[in-house]
Amino acid sequence: MARKILVIDNENLVADICRFTLGKLGHEVFCAMSGEQAVHMAGTINFDLAIVNKRLEGISGIEAFEMIRQTNPTLAGILVTAHASLDMVIEAMNNGFSRVCKKPFDTKELVEAVTETLKITGLREDITRMKTLLPLYDLGQRFMAAESEEAVYEELADAVLREVNVPRVSVMMFDITSGRLKVVAYRGLNPEFVENLEIKPGEHIAGKVFQSSVPIILNRSSQYLGPYTDLLKRRELSAAISFPIVSRGKVLGVLNISETRDGTEFHEADIEMLSIITSQSMMALENVRFIREREENSRIRALLEQYVSPEVSHLLMERNQDLLEVGSVQELTVLFADIRNFTFLVQHLPPEHLRLFLNSFFELFAQIVFSCQGMLDKFMGDAALVIFGAPVKTEKPCFAAVTAAKRIMHGFEKLRLFWVEKDNIFEKVGLGIGISRGPMFLGNVGSAKRLDYTVIGTDVNIAQRLASETSSGQILITDRVYNNLDGQFAVRTDSNRWLRGMESEVTVYSLLIEESES
């Protein structure tokens, strides 16, 4: 790996040898003729290795090396001298040099010394990196083990307490409902004070940090130098930090820490540590929220597929509609199907056979409804309710409803004949269907704990009444449905009917079914 090497020597020959030999190895070599020049160069360039002549005019080579290491403590050094001795080697090691080379040196010796020194430097860097990364890995493991947002917040408070070693910690997250910052986890604070604490964005230190997304360090000894002179009012505090909790560029909350020991101050290194810890915690928070969202989507999709086809369910999920909140009055078409003489069937058929028959019918029913883009509202023992036109819009909901009704009637008749061969009691069984259209409420009725996505309205009752009054094998439709069919189905006008619970007569049409369809 290419390194930056500083040669501090007042002999041009040494500088040229180093520049040529080490340059061939891919290293970037800089030369300084004096200690003062070397210190100046090190102020703008971060060197990995310094090759230093002990004897220099002005600042000695060792003094220059020590001055550079004050700002670059990881700098490795090779001391070059014409008079090497054991005492000099010991002195060099005590001053941070890794090796001593005697002048004049040949290129082979130079390459060996530089290679070995940089190898040791690399190992030290690896060890330092591991010392940094291993605690962070452990920290990440702790956060990723959290199974809820609350657990993430609690682990964040514990991590800050453990890694920064402060007596007081509070984690504040922005609550969308109240529009305020609220404490979600804390350590070393009075519960009565914390649990009632709410801060608006822009108010107090935490509110200002949340609004600006800029961390604030307040040390009592130097707070008068900053813009928040009057904010560190509690006398028992010697220092405090308010740090913005950020995820994907958005400020979600504020982390507050404070110190009570006299003379204790916070520095930029503490800010860096808080940045690492909060970043780890926000990755865990995103993971928890992702898992929760995925589980919620799976739950909603499973519920949706009780009402609509998987394809329609997918469309609704893509729209990102919250079915727990959806509810509106819409112009919809409803189909109600009712099995004739079902009570008689229940009284004379073994329960197991009855279950098999109903399962076969409802499976057939659902397949046809879904293929016509209908929403299966519910099965009710011997009946079923279907909605056309929502939640997925269809261009011709009445056409879809009548098409579904004809297919259902045809499928039911085939199923009935199959069961007649097993038991002639099914000769008395039939199916009636009523279809109506009008304004009705579609949405969640009940509570969030039980999703009952259904329709309510007069035309729902009309469809149910029509289905109950039909003859076996008959499909009745209202005038609103008929007017939307554009003459595409054969119908005949039925007599106007007074339906139970209705205040006026309902105009009814009967759908004509050909022999091949029945």
What is the DSSP code string of 54-69? S--SSS-HHHHHHHHH
Question: Is residue 304 exposed (0-12), middle (13-18) or buried (19+ Cβ within 10 Å)?
Answer: buried
CA distance 188 to 415: 72
Q: CA–CA separation, 316 vs 324, rounded Å? A: 13
Q: What share of the chain is helix, strand, coil (3-state, %, to 5)?
A: 45, 25, 30
In whole angstroms, how far apart are CA 318 and each of 84, 297, 312, 315, 327?
77, 10, 10, 5, 18
Q: How many CB atoms lie within 10 A of CB 33?
A: 17
Residue showing tokens 């130079």: 110
Q: What is the pLDDT of residue 223?
A: 55
Concatenated DSSP letters of 147-192:
-SHHHHHHHHHHHHHHHT--SEEEEEEEETTTTEEEEEEEESS-HH
Residue 263 CB neighbour total at 10 angstroms: 10
The per-residue pLDDT for 225 is 47
Q: Output the pLDDT for position 359.
A: 92
CATH 3.30.70.1230 fits 310-517, yes or no: yes
Q: Residue 496's pLDDT is what? A: 77
Structure confidence at residue 162 (pLDDT): 87
pTM of the model: 0.48
Judging by beta carbons within 10 Å of its beta carbon (0-12, 13-18, 19+), is residue 77 exposed, middle or buried? buried
Task: Determine how β-strand 168-175 pairs with β-strand 180-187.
Answer: antiparallel
Task: Find out if CATH 3.40.50.2300 is the number for domain 4-128.
Answer: yes
Which CATH code for domain 149-292? 3.30.450.40
Residue 327 has a pLDDT of: 72
258's enclosing H/E stretch is strand 250-259
Coil, strand or helix at 79: strand
pLDDT of residue 71: 82
Tens-of-pLDDT digits for all 518 residues of the chain? 688 999 999 888 888 899 899 999 999 999 999 999 999 999 889 899 999 998 888 888 889 999 998 888 888 999 988 877 788 888 888 888 988 888 887 888 889 999 998 888 887 776 666 665 556 667 777 888 888 999 999 999 999 998 888 999 999 999 999 999 999 999 999 888 888 899 999 988 899 999 999 998 888 766 554 555 555 555 566 788 999 999 999 999 999 998 877 667 888 878 888 998 999 899 989 988 888 888 877 777 776 666 555 655 665 566 555 555 557 899 999 999 999 999 899 998 999 999 999 999 999 999 999 899 898 888 888 899 999 998 778 889 999 999 999 999 999 999 999 999 999 999 999 999 999 999 999 877 766 556 566 889 999 999 999 998 888 999 999 999 999 998 899 988 877 787 877 778 888 999 987 655 54
Element (H or E) spanning 292, and its range? Answer: helix 268-304
Q: Are 431 and 518 in contact (CB under 8 A)?
A: no
| Spatial distance between the Cα atoms of 313 and 259, rounded to a whole number of angstroms | 54
| Token pair recorded at residue 273 | 């540590």
The domains of the chain are located at 4-128, 149-292, 310-517
Three-class SS state of 16: helix
Cβ neighbours of residue 304 closer than 8 Å, sequence gap 6 or more: 312, 313, 316, 317, 323
Assess contact for 79 and 62: CB atoms under 8 A.
yes
pLDDT of residue 477: 95
